[in-house]
Each structure stands twice: as structure tokens, then as C-alpha cells.
């Protein structure tokens, strides 16, 4: 059985088949970095520490997946600690050179798909916002995991709901979907990650169980877990979505 544990924000530890994948590590202590520029409040990031008992120097994993290089998905603390982790680092092709320059050694860009032992990892499209802002925030990607005897897992990445997500759902018919919610927002423009309405649209387009993360940890993510839970209850979808607390695990 695959198990997904939320550490904080978008940092996940995925036990899948015979491998353990650390996704998008943000390892800094609470308040270590300034607010996101051009955001609606001045709270320092991260807003919360890692869960009690999670030592950033001792997270066990075999493979690292960096969905994209924004600081809340690979922060300076992770860049200091993880380059010598000894296993492969998966990424989108546009990020491979910078990861190698940072010191990561076994960097494996996912052009279309690659094999990780018995697991197939496929890169999928994502759109980090709307209009010109989405172009400025690019590139970003999602990733699909497929393994023998395991659920098909679609990690949508930092994306809003749009046709590329719908097409990925149709193509892979996943059993579980990770949705980066939080409705991340700058002072101008529309949200750049999924809003509550986006998560509802996602649920309406798939029978997969949805795991929503990317909330209550970065200052410009304005959608809280409580807000999302209320919206899903109003839509009759609360049982379809897991909204884990930091440190909580979800069996897929």
C-alpha cells in the first residue's frame, strides 16, 4: 500500500512500491525567510516549523523529486542539506542544469517518462496561474507514478484547474491525486495555485481520492485548511478529499 505523509506545505514523503520519494523539500525553520514579494501580508516564512519529531537532517528517502525550483519547493535549507543524498533527483528538464550546479549529482530530468526500478514516472503539464502571470511563473510540471500493485498517483504540481489537468485525468485515470491548493495570491492577478473552487472542479472530473496540501505554511497562500474543508462540505465532497495536517499520513 502506498502511503503519503505531508511534512509541511508541499513537502511530502511518499512510500511507493519499493522506493521512498521525498517531494519538494522546504526545510527551513519557521520565520527564517522573508514574506513572498508582492504578497498581501508581511508574515515571514515558513509560517510554521516542521512537525515535532521530523529532523531535517535525518529524513529517510531513496529518491528526491523537485517539481520546480521555486523557493517554497526547494529552499536554501534543502539545498544545503540534500545535494549529497546519494540517490537520484528527478526534475523537469528545464531545472536539471541548476540542480547540478547546486551540487546534486544523479540528476534525472523527466522528458516524458522514466523508469525508477519498477516504477514509471511520467511528467505532465501544469499551469502556475493565469495569463501573463502563468507565463512568468513557468516552467512547472506535474508527475504521475505507476507501479505494479500500486495505485496510480497523479501529483498535479503547482497548477490551477485548467484543460491540461483535465486531460491528464482522462489519460491516466488515477486512483489518487495530490492537489497543491492554498490559492497562492500576489497583490495583483488571480491565484496561482488551486482555489477551493478548483479543488471542487477537480473532484467533479475524477473518481480519484484527492489529497490537498500547500496550505497554512507560506504567507501568500490565503486558502486555509478550514476554508477548504468548509467549501468541500458545502459541495458534498468532503469525504472525497483528505486534508492532512503537518506530519499526518494518508494511505492511498
Is 90 exceeded by the pLDDT of residue 1? no
67-86 pLDDT, tens per residue?
Answer: 999 999 999 999 999 999 99
202-240 pLDDT, tens per residue?
Answer: 999 999 999 999 999 999 999 999 999 999 999 999 999
- Mean predicted lDDT score pLDDT of the chain: 97
Whole-angstrom CA distances from 224 to 122, 204, 229 are 30, 21, 9
Residue 207 burial (CB count, 10 A): 10
Which residue bears the cell 506530519?
A: 247
Cell of 210: 484527492
For 3-243, the fitting CATH number among 3.40.920.10, 1.20.1050.10, 3.60.15.10, 3.65.10.10 is 3.60.15.10
Per domain, the residue ranges of the chain are 3-243
- Cα 46 to chain center, whole Å? 15
Instruction: Tell me the C-alpha distance between 72 and 194, whole Å.
Output: 16
Instruction: Tell me the C-alpha distance between 45 and 215, whole Å.
Output: 12
Amino acid at each position: 500500500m502506498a502511503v503519503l505523509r505531508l511534512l509541511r506545505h508541499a513537502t511530502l514523503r511518499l512510500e511507493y512500491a519499493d522506493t521512498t520519494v521525498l517531494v519538494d523539500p522546504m526545510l527551513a525553520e519557521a520565520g527564517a525567510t522573508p514574506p513572498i514579494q508582492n504578497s498581501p501580508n508581511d508574515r515571514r516564512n515558513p509560517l510554521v516549523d516542521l512537525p515535532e519529531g521530523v529532523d531535517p537532517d535525518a529524513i529517510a528517502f531513496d529518491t528526491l523529486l523537485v517539481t520546480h525550483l521555486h523557493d517554497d519547493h526547494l529552499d536554501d535549507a534543502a539545498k544545503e542539506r540534500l545535494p549529497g543524498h546519494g540517490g537520484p533527483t528527478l526534475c523537469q528538464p528545464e531545472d536539471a542544469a541548476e540542480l547540478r550546479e547546486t551540487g546534486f549529482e544523479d540528476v534525472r530530468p523527466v522528458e516524458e517518462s522514466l523508469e525508477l526500478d519498477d516504477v514509471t514516472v511520467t511528467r505532465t503539464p501544469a499551469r502556475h496561474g493565469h495569463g501573463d502571470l502563468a507565463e512568468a511563473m513557468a516552467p512547472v510540471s506535474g508527475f504521475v507514478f505507476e507501479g505494479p500493485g500500486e495505485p496510480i498517483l497523479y501529483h498535479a504540481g503547482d497548477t490551477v484547474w485548467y484543460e491540461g489537468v483535465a486531460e491528464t485525468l482522462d489519460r491516466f485515470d488515477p486512483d489518487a491525486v495530490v492537489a497543491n491548493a492554498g490559492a497562492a495570491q500576489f497583490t495583483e492577478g488571480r491565484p496561482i495555485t488551486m482555489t477551493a473552487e478548483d479543488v471542487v472542479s477537480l473532484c467533479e472530473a475524477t473518481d480519484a481520492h484527492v489529497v490537498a496540501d500547500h496550505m497554512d505554511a507560506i504567507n501568500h497562500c490565503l486558502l486555509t485548511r478550514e476554508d477548504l474543508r468548509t467549501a468541500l462540505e458545502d459541495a458534498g465532497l468532503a469525504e472525497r478529499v483528505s486534508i492532512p495536517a503537518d506530519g499526518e499520513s494518508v494511505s492511498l
